[in-house]
């Protein structure tokens, strides 16, 4: 598969996805995970959260994060991008995908907007053909250098 085709598939998945599991780690490497309501702009993922939560503290200490969406696993760099109301794209997408979250949380003073720039994607079975006994693969997509590496897994 060509990089452009895989990139289009990734962006389509992100556009359709409402929830993802976010993993963060503090400076000691202790990991935590939480399900988030997400929106995206291309390869950037956004979510809002309370500034006092563990994930925000972890991102301040260690901006490297991971996100899981089904057979898609992403690595990225997170940053605090201000208050959610300061980003019109986020607000418009949030109202469309998560109106209840928008109404309940967005205007609270402790909310922060987190922006994640995706750097890598790992996709299970993207090349597997239906009804064909082929080996499982993992596509490792370097989103920074725009390269793809395919790993063939043991038969599962």
Q: Write out pLDDT tens, residues 7-29.
A: 999 999 999 999 999 999 999 99
CATH (domain of 100): 2.30.110.10
> Looking at the domain assignment, is residue 8 inside a domain?
yes
pLDDT of residue 142: 97
- Those residues whose C-beta lies under 8 Å from the C-beta of residue 127, and which sit 6 or more positions away, are 1, 134, 137, 139, 150
Number of structural domains in the chain = 1
> Looking at the domain assignment, is residue 16 inside a domain?
yes
> Looking at the domain assignment, is residue 37 inside a domain?
yes
pLDDT of residue 151: 83
Distance separating alpha carbons of residues 86 and 49, to the nearest angstrom = 14
Enter the DSSP assignment of 153. P
Q: What is the pLDDT of residues 55-82, one digit of tens each?
A: 999 999 999 999 999 989 999 999 999 9
> Looking at the domain assignment, is residue 58 inside a domain?
yes
> Looking at the domain assignment, is residue 59 inside a domain?
yes
Q: What is the pLDDT of residues 38-60, one digit of tens each?
A: 999 999 999 999 999 999 999 99
Q: What is the pLDDT of residues 104-156, one digit of tens each?
A: 999 999 999 999 999 999 998 755 555 555 667 889 999 999 999 988 776 44
CB 85 within 8 A of CB 91: yes
> Looking at the domain assignment, is residue 31 inside a domain?
yes
> Looking at the domain assignment, is residue 28 inside a domain?
yes
Instruction: Mark residue 6 as left, alpha or beta (left: phi above 0; alpha: psi -120 to 50; beta: remaining).
Output: alpha
> Looking at the domain assignment, is residue 69 inside a domain?
yes
CB 112 within 8 A of CB 49: yes
Domain boundaries, position 17: 3-121
């Amino acid at each position: 598969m060509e990089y452009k085709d895989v990139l289009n598939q990734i962006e389509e998945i992100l556009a359709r996805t409402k929830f993802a599991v976010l993993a963060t780690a503090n400076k000691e490497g202790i990991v935590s995970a939480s399900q988030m309501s997400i929106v995206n702009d291309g390869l950037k993922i956004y979510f809002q959260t309370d500034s006092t939560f563990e994930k925000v503290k972890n991102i301040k200490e260690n901006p490297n994060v991971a996100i899981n969406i089904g057979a898609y696993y992403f690595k990225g760099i997170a940053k605090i991008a201000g208050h959610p109301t300061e980003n019109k794209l986020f607000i418009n997408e949030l109202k469309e995908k998560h109106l209840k979250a928008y109404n309940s949380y967005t205007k609270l003073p402790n909310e922060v907007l987190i922006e994640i720039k995706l750097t890598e994607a790992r996709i299970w079975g993207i090349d597997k053909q239906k009804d064909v006994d082929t080996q499982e693969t993992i596509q490792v997509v370097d989103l920074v250098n725009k390269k793809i590496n395919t790993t063939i897994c043991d038969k599962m």
